[in-house]
Amino acid sequence: MGLDLDAEAHLVHLVVTCGSTEAMMSALLTACAPGDRVIVFSPFYENHGADSILSGAVPLSVELRPPDFRFDPDELRRAFQQRPKALALCNPSNPSGHVFSPEELQQIADLAQDAHMSPGRPRRSFRHSSLSVWISSKVSAQSSSAM
């Protein structure tokens, strides 16, 4: 996933949870203040929207359109223009089953980088199996392409 897994050097990056629901809540409660925005792809796993709301954030829905469940890059760009604090991405998408292509993941990473990257600031991502939560100002294209 792009991290040198030296336990001594990276222990601060490790959060152990009972499952993805707890991982999602831990990440959102850590990253989001009340009123912050979180991008979620719709249809989404029920906890993505609920966890965003429970953490005090506002979910920004980006539709995955049938029959192939792809997103509209312009709609995603508009969502990023609202300066979200995080993005929830389940790959393959739950419940649609859509597997984001490397090109789609790169589009997401590029938009996140354009909207949030600041030179010299640390980058951080939270991951649990197929769930990724990217935190604002800390997204790297390399991290997303490693999924």
In a domain, 9, yes or no: no
% the chain with pLDDT above 90: 32
Continuous segment of H or E residues that includes residue 98: none
In CATH, what number is assigned to the domain containing residue 81?
3.40.640.10
Is 97 part of a structural domain of the chain?
yes
Does some domain include residue 129? yes
What is the domain range of residue 32?
20-145
Distance, in Å, from the CA atom of 80 to the CA atom of 63, rounded to the nearest integer, reads 14
Give Cα separations from 50 to 10, 88, 110 (angstroms): 30, 12, 27
- Bond from prior residue into 73 cis (ω within 30 degrees of 0): no
Write down the H helix ranges in 12-136.
20-31, 46-54, 73-80, 102-116
Q: Number of folded domains in the chain? A: 1
pTM score = 0.71
Quick check: 5 pLDDT over 70?
no
> For residue 64, what pLDDT band results from cuts at 50, 70 and 90?
very high
Query: Would residue 83 be called left, alpha or beta, if left means φ above 0 and alpha means ψ between -120 and 50 degrees?
Result: left
Tens digit of each residue's pLDDT (9 = 90 or more) over 22-43:
888 888 888 888 999 999 999 9
Question: What is the pLDDT, as a whole number, of residue 126?
Answer: 39
